[in-house]
C-alpha cells in the first residue's frame, strides 16, 4: 500500500526516464515549445528587459523536455541582442538521462548550456514550462487521504500527514466536500528556487487553477495521457500522469520565501501582450502559403485551446 503521492512520483519518474518518444505526434502529448518556436521566442522577448537589468544573467530551466524552449530562447537572443547573448549562461535541471541526451543534441550549437544536478545560486531567471504539473500530489477528501493498494485499487485512509493538514488550513480548504490535491513537492521546489535566486525572477507556465476555481474540479485534476488521449486507468500501464498546478498555493507560499508576484495571467493574455508574437500572427495570416497556414493554426492553438487552461506566473526575488 502506498500513498497516491508516492505512487504518482514513481509513475512520473518511470515515465520520463524510459527511452520512448513522449513528445509530438509520435509520442503522447504536445507542449507549447513543441508546437512552434514562437512560444520560446515570446518567452525570450518577455524576459529581455529583466535579463538586461541583471548584468550577467543566468537562465535556469527546470524539466526541459527535448530542449526546444532553450534552443528558441537562445536563438532569439543570438539574433536580437548579441551583446546580451554573449553574457548569458543557460542551465538545465532535468531528471531524465534519456531527455538530457536529446537536449544535448538539440543544443549542441550553443556552448553556454550546462546541466546541473542541484539548483545553484544564481542572479537571473528560473523558468519552466509544464514542469510543476509532473510533481506528485497528495489526494485528500474530507478527513481521508487516497492510497493505492498492491492490486492497483484506491483505498481511503484517515489523513495522518500534518503538513497536508497545515496546507489545507492555510489555503482555507478544510471541510471542502471534494477531492483536493496537495502538492507539497511544489512548495519544496519553490523554496529551493527562492533559495537559489540571489536576485532575479521565477517564471512558471503550466496548466492550473486558483483557489476560487477549485469547485470546478470536484473529482480532482489528476490525469494520465498516452498517445494524445486521456486514460482513465492510470494505475495500469506506463503513461504520463500529471496534476494541474495550484497557482494560489505558489503565490501564497512564495511569500514565505521572499517571492513577490509580479504577474499572474492566462497564457492567452500573456502571449497577446508580446508584440513579436502578434506581429508573427499577422505576418502568417497575410502570407497564405500552406506552411504559413499550418504555423498560424499552431499559434492559434497556443492562444485559444491552450490559452485559458494554461497560466503564467512571474515572481521576483530580492528586487
| Nearer to ligand SAM among residue 22 and residue 280 (C-beta) | 22
For 254, phi then psi, to 5°, come to -55, -35
| Nearer to ligand SAM among residue 33 and residue 208 (C-beta) | 33
| Nearer to ligand SAM among residue 67 and residue 220 (C-beta) | 67
Q: Which residue is nearest to ligand SAM (CB)?
A: 63
For 87, phi then psi, to 5°, come to -95, -15
Contacts of 47 (CB under 8 A, 6+ apart): 59, 73, 125, 127, 201, 203
The CA distance from 197 to 127, in Å, is: 12
The CA angle 258-261-266, to the nearest 5 degrees, is 150
| Nearer to ligand SAM among residue 94 and residue 145 (C-beta) | 94
| Nearer to ligand SAM among residue 134 and residue 248 (C-beta) | 134
Residue 87 in grid coordinates: 553574457
- State the Rg of the chain over Cα: 20
| Nearer to ligand SAM among residue 168 and residue 202 (C-beta) | 202
Q: How far is the CB of 136 from ligand SAM (least distance, A)?
A: 9
The CA distance from 186 to 188, in Å, is: 5
| Nearer to ligand SAM among residue 12 and residue 183 (C-beta) | 12
Q: How far is the CB of 318 from ligand SAM (least distance, A)?
A: 24
Q: How far is the CB of 93 from ligand SAM (least distance, A)?
A: 6
Q: How far is the CB of 152 from ligand SAM (least distance, A)?
A: 22
The CA distance from 171 to 254, in Å, is: 13
| Nearer to ligand SAM among residue 94 and residue 181 (C-beta) | 94
| Nearer to ligand SAM among residue 141 and residue 231 (C-beta) | 231
Measuring CA to CA, which residue among 57, 60, 59, 69 is closest to residue 103?
69
- Residue ranges binding ligand SAM (CB under 6 A): 12, 16, 31, 33-34, 62-65, 69, 93-96, 99, 129-131, 134
Q: How far is the CB of 280 from ligand SAM (least distance, A)?
A: 19
Q: b/e for 290-319, b at 16 or more Cβ within 10 A?
A: eeeeebbebbeebbeebbeebbbbbbbbee
Q: How far is the CB of 267 from ligand SAM (least distance, A)?
A: 12
For 8, phi then psi, to 5°, come to -65, -40
Q: How far is the CB of 229 from ligand SAM (least distance, A)?
A: 16
Q: How far is the CB of 18 from ligand SAM (least distance, A)?
A: 10
Beta strands in 149-210 (DSSP E): 154-158, 179-182, 197-209
Q: Which helix (H) or strand (E) holds 230?
A: strand 229-231
Q: How far is the CB of 273 from ligand SAM (least distance, A)?
A: 20
Measuring CA to CA, which residue among 319, 277, 318, 317 is closest to residue 300?
277
CB 94 within 8 A of CB 134: no
Amino acid at each position: 500500500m502506498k500513498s497516491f503521492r508516492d505512487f504518482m512520483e514513481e509513475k512520473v519518474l518511470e515515465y520520463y526516464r524510459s527511452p520512448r518518444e513522449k513528445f509530438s505526434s509520435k509520442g503522447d502529448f504536445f507542449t507549447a515549445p513543441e508546437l512552434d518556436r514562437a512560444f520560446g521566442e515570446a518567452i525570450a522577448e518577455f524576459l529581455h528587459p529583466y535579463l538586461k537589468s541583471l548584468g550577467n544573467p543566468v537562465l535556469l530551466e527546470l524539466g526541459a523536455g527535448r530542449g526546444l524552449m532553450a534552443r528558441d530562447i537562445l536563438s532569439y537572443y543570438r539574433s536580437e541582442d548579441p551583446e546580451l547573448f554573449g553574457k548569458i549562461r543557460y542551465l538545465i535541471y532535468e531528471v531524465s538521462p534519456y531527455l538530457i541526451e536529446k537536449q544535448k543534441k538539440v543544443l549542441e550549437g550553443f556552448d553556454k548550456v550546462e546541466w546541473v544536478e542541484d539548483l545553484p545560486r544564481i542572479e537571473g531567471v528560473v523558468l519552466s514550462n509544464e514542469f510543476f504539473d509532473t510533481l506528485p500530489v497528495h489526494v485528500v477528501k474530507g478527513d481521508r487521504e487516497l492510497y493505492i493498494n498492491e492490486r492497483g485499487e484506491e483505498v481511503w485512509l484517515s489523513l495522518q500527514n500534518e503538513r497536508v493538514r497545515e496546507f489545507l488550513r492555510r489555503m482555507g480548504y478544510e471541510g471542502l466536500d471534494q477531492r483536493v490535491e496537495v502538492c507539497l513537492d511544489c512548495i519544496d521546489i519553490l523554496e529551493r528556487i527562492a533559495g537559489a535566486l540571489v536576485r532575479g525572477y521565477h517564471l512558471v507556465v503550466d496548466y492550473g487553477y486558483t483557489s476560487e476555481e477549485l469547485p470546478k474540479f470536484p473529482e480532482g485534476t489528476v490525469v494520465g495521457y498516452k498517445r494524445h488521449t486521456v486514460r482513465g486507468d492510470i494505475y495500469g500501464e506506463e503513461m504520463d500522469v500529471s496534476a494541474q498546478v495550484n497557482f494560489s498555493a505558489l503565490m501564497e507560499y512564495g511569500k514565505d520565501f521572499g517571492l513577490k508576484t509580479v504577474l499572474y495571467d492566462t497564457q492567452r493574455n500573456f502571449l497577446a501582450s508580446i508584440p513579436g508574437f502578434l506581429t508573427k500572427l499577422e505576418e502568417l495570416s497575410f502570407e497564405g502559403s500552406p506552411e504559413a497556414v499550418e504555423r498560424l493554426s499552431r499559434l492559434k492553438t497556443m492562444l485559444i485551446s491552450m490559452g485559458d487552461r494554461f497560466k503564467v506566473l512571474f515572481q521576483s526575488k530580492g528586487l
